[in-house]
Structures are given as C-alpha cells and as structure tokens.
A and B are shown apart, each in its own frame.
Chain A
Amino acid sequence: MFDITGYYEAHSLANVFELLKEQPTARIVAGGTDVLVKSRARVTGFVETPLIGISRVAEMKGVIMADDGTINIGALTTFDEIEHNKIINQNMPLLSQAVSLVGGPQTRRMGTIGGNVCNAGPAADSAPALFTYNAVCEICSATTTREVPITEFYIGVGKVKLQPGEVLVKFKITKQNYQGYQGYYIKFAQRAALDIANLSCAALVKVTENKIQDLRICFGAAAATPIRMPAAEAYGLGKEVSNDTLTTIGDYCLQDTKTIADWRASKEYRDHLVTVLPVRALALALKDGE
C-alpha cells in the first residue's frame, strides 16, 4: 500500500482547484509514474499526504493546433499519445522522437508530459525538446492564468515555479518556433529502454543555403535543470554548416553546462559527452536522422 492519507479525484479543472482549496497539503498525481514511485521510496512530501488525482480532467488532455498555428499540448497528454500524434509528428518531430525514448511502453502509456516537467528531474526526456521549441507553460489557479516560458519555469532539482493552488495546464508552441526547423534528440544511457539518461541533448536548427539561420541546443542531466546553450547558439548563428562549425559548437557547449559526477556517470565523462552529443545530434538533424 502507498502511505497516503486520502485520495480525491478531480472531474474537471474547476474541480481540481476546489479540491486544492479543501486539501491544501495534497499532492497532485497525474499518471503516477513519478509520484507513486517516489511514494514507494518514502520520499518526503510523497508519503503521509493526501493525493489529488487529475487523470480524468479532459480539459488538460490532447494536442490542438490553433488558427494561428500555435500548437497546444495538454499537460495530461501521455508520452504514447504525443509519440503517435499527427500534429506533433508533422510539426515537432523532435518532441515525438524524445518522448518515444521515455522508460518503457507501460510507462509511456501512463506518464504525462506535464508530469514529466513538474517532476523537474534534470534528465526528463521531454524537457530538452520543449526548451528548444521555446514552449510556454500556461499555469492556472482558481482565479488567474499566467504564462511562463519553460526556460524560466525550472528552479532546481524537483522544483518548478508553481505556487500553492496553481496547476500547469498546457504547453503552447508558436508557429515561428517550430516551422522550418530540423531537430534530433540523443538520449545517452546504458540501456535502450527503462533507463535514465547519463546525458541527453536536443538540437534544433534552421538552415538555408547551408547557413545556420537559427540554432537551439538543450541538454538534460548537464545541470540541476535542463539547460540551453547560449554561447554555442550565438557562435553558430550565420555560420556555414561544416564539420569544423559543428565541432566548435560542441566545444562552446562546455561554457554553459554545469555537469556533476553521480553514480550514473563521472563529471569527466559527461563533459566529454557535452562536446560530442550536439555534433552528432546536429548532423543527424540535418540528415533527417539517417
């Protein structure tokens, strides 16, 4: 049994806020693939607390393209749904590729993209892609709605900018942030499935006439939060695509990463990967993964 003190299931977004008011100490659970695992491990804040289940809140599910081309991804959309969603596949293939590498099939059917972000693990597979697409988080409370760019949403390991009573409802990606880009995500781990990345790298690039028009690189597990690479991105702008350019972009990444050693990999190993993975990811992005 899970050591929880109660369970309350929300039936609509409005109901989530009512329950949060009645149970201010409760923790929100979506697919349970992080919250219930942490509860099993008796992590503080995940035991001896009530849970509010939101997995039946329809307003927070699914992918919709607005008239202006903005893609809205409900926070409760599962990895499996995103991997196979037509709108995502056609317009944001980097995200679809990234979420196809989460855990195993069972995890991908339950785990949600909003949960993946709010759990704020440094190695979360959906995050680097969302960072490179400049996704914006729509955060609602009972009375307010505010937007926070995902690049500013993280505070640290397991911590995001959510106030008590607030819920991450959806991600928004505007057309100019996905149209015309090519991307690739590399999850560097010991196993192909059911593993957590030693380091991960999402690269998104716009190239015309062999010149880099825009470049975005984000690492997972290279700092306490997913982290973009401003120095490397600035260097790459306007450069011709060549082996030298890509290698130099990789070297520039070390200026912004803050890798650590843990039981998964040493700092030296991660730093080596920091210089190598963006080169591979960019090369594969420009060749459509071939």
Chain B
Amino acid sequence: MIQEIEFTLNGEAVTCAVDVRKSLLEMLREDFSLIGMKEGCSVGECGACSVLIDEQAVDSCIYLAVWVDGKSITTIEGITHTDGSLDNVQQAFIDAGAVQCGFCIPGMIISSSQFIKENPQPSRDEIRRALSGNMCRCTGYQKIIDAVELAVETK
C-alpha cells in the first residue's frame, strides 16, 4: 500500500510515494539518503534516530512515515548550515570533546537544538532531563552536558 505525502524536509518542499509500512527513519534513510540519524534500538528508547518534527524532537523509528504529511522535518543534515558550516551546537560538541564513537551524537544534537531554543539559560539538571531520551554508551554523558552548556554560552 503506497501513499503520496507532501512535507518540508530541511527547509525544502518535497513529495514522496511511500510504503505505509515504513517508519519515518526508514523513509528518510532509504528514499532520501539522509543517513545522519541512526537506527539504534528501533523501539523508541535510545534516541539515536531523533529528528525535529515541527520543531519537536521525536524518535523517527516508531513514527510512521505517512504521519509527516503536511509537517516540517529537520534532520541532523538540516542542522548544518546550507553553506556547509557547522551550527554552534555541532561545534560545541566538537570543542567540548563530547564525541567518541559518534553514533548517538546526531540524536543528541537534535534534542539539544530544540532544548536550547526553548531554554536560553538552562541549569545542568534541566540539560540532563532534556537529553534523558538519548542514550550514549561511550562518554558517560558529562562531556555531552558540557557541550550543551558551551553551546548555550556561544549562541
């Protein structure tokens, strides 16, 4: 069963004839070749597949692709500026040494971007809670939280 959908992807209006069985993650990776977001747990626990839907971070692995019809999606590729330069949140993750294997980082940056936009002066506890839907198996989280604090300062 195929359904035609229209949505905004990283600022660009797009259409897609998508298999209704696909998750948003599968559509973005397979039909749009956007492979920045990762499939970790596939059940909405690890946050590696996070994308912004109408500026809200959600897990794209348990989100039906057809649900984005009429909505606006930002993936990690859309966080990077159109000239290819890094967003300050991305740069802060590098500068704080928050990236080890990197698998969770696109999701971390998606969650951080929304959070910083809504909370210009967050406490460390608020950052922890905002990132509690994103798991990291390398860093122990400290440097990731440092990175968000740095991104707030360098905004």
Contact = CB atoms under 8 A, between A and B. Distances in A.
B112 to A, nearest CB: 11
A7 B1 contact: yes
A106 B57 contact: yes
B58 A40 contact: no
A110 B43 CA distance: 13
B56 interface: yes
A109 B59 CA distance: 10
Interface string A52-63: 010100000000
B74 interface: no
Interface of A: 1-7, 9, 29, 32-33, 36-37, 40-41, 51, 53, 55, 103-107, 109-110, 192-194
B63 interface: yes
A105 B111 contact: yes
B135 A106 contact: no
B96 interface: no
B143 interface: no
Given A1-B26, A109-B57, A32 B64 contact: yes
Interface string B52-69: 000011110011101100
8 contacts: A1-B19, A2-B22, A6-B1, A6-B20, A7-B21, A32-B62, A103-B45, A192-B132
A33 B42 CA distance: 11
B43 A37 contact: yes
